[in-house]
C-alpha cells in the first residue's frame, strides 16, 4: 500500500482465541485454520483455507480489499462466507462489513480515513482501534 495513503484498512477477528486486530497492507492474505494462513481462525468449524483477501487498486491511487471464499484456485470453504447477512462467494469490502466464517468466528472490516481521525492526535492513526462487534448467536 502507498505510504502516503489516506486510508487504513483494519480487519478485526473474533474466534475461540479471542479478538485480534490486523492492519491490512499486503496484496494477499490467506484466512483460515491452517497455521500458514496470515490471518488464522481458531475454530474446528473454519476451513483450512476459508477465504482470501485480495488488495485492489483504485483509480484514485488508493486501494481496497475484496474477500473471496476459499483459495484463489477455486477451492471453496466448507461453510462459505456470510457477509452482512448474505451468503456470498466474493465481496468488495466496505467500512463495517461483517463476515461470519462459522459459528462464533467472525470479522469486521473497517476503512479508516485520516480525515475522520482527530486532528489533535499526535499520530496519523491510533495504534489500536477498539470498536464493539455485534453479538452473533452460535
- Burial call 33-42: b when 16+ CB within 10 Å, e when fewer: beeebebbbe
Domain assignment of residue 74, yes or no: yes
Domain assignment of residue 125, yes or no: no
Better pLDDT: 18 or 113? 18
Q: Please tell me the pTM assigned to this model.
A: 0.80
- The mean pLDDT value of the chain amounts to 85
pLDDT in tens, 51-95: 999 999 988 888 999 999 999 899 999 999 999 999 999 999 999
Q: Using CA of residue 128, residue 20, residue 39, residue 88, what is the dihedral sign?
A: negative
Whichever domain contains 61, its CATH number is: 2.60.200.20
Range of the domain at 27: 7-113
Domain assignment of residue 49, yes or no: yes
CA 136 vs CA 8, 65, 84, 85, 86: distances in Å: 26, 24, 12, 11, 14
Domain assignment of residue 128, yes or no: no
pLDDT in tens, 60-71: 888 999 999 999
Q: Using CA of residue 100, residue 101, residue 105, residue 109, what is the dihedral sign?
A: negative
pLDDT in the model for residue 59: 86
Domain assignment of residue 20, yes or no: yes
Nine cell digits for residue 21: 486486530
pLDDT in tens, 5-31: 678 999 999 999 999 999 999 999 999
Domain count, the chain: 1
Amino acid at each position: 500500500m502507498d505510504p502516503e495513503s489516506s486510508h487504513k484498512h483494519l480487519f478485526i477477528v473474533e474466534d475461540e482465541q479471542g479478538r485480534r486486530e490486523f492492519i491490512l497492507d499486503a496484496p494477499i492474505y490467506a484466512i483460515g485454520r491452517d497455521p500458514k494462513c496470515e490471518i488464522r481462525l481458531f475454530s474446528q468449524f473454519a476451513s483450512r483455507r476459508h477465504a482470501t483477501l485480495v488488495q485492489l487498486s483504485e483509480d484514485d491511487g488508493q486501494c481496497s480489499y475484496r474477500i473471496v471464499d476459499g483459495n484463489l484456485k477455486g477451492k471453496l470453504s466448507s461453510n462459505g462466507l456470510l457477509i452482512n447477512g448474505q451468503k456470498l462467494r466474493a465481496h468488495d469490502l466496505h467500512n463495517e462489513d461483517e463476515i461470519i466464517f462459522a459459528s462464533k468466528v467472525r470479522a469486521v472490516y473497517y476503512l479508516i480515513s485520516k480525515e475522520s481521525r482527530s486532528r489533535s492526535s499526535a499520530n496519523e492513526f491510533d495504534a489500536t482501534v477498539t470498536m464493539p462487534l455485534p453479538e452473533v448467536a452460535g
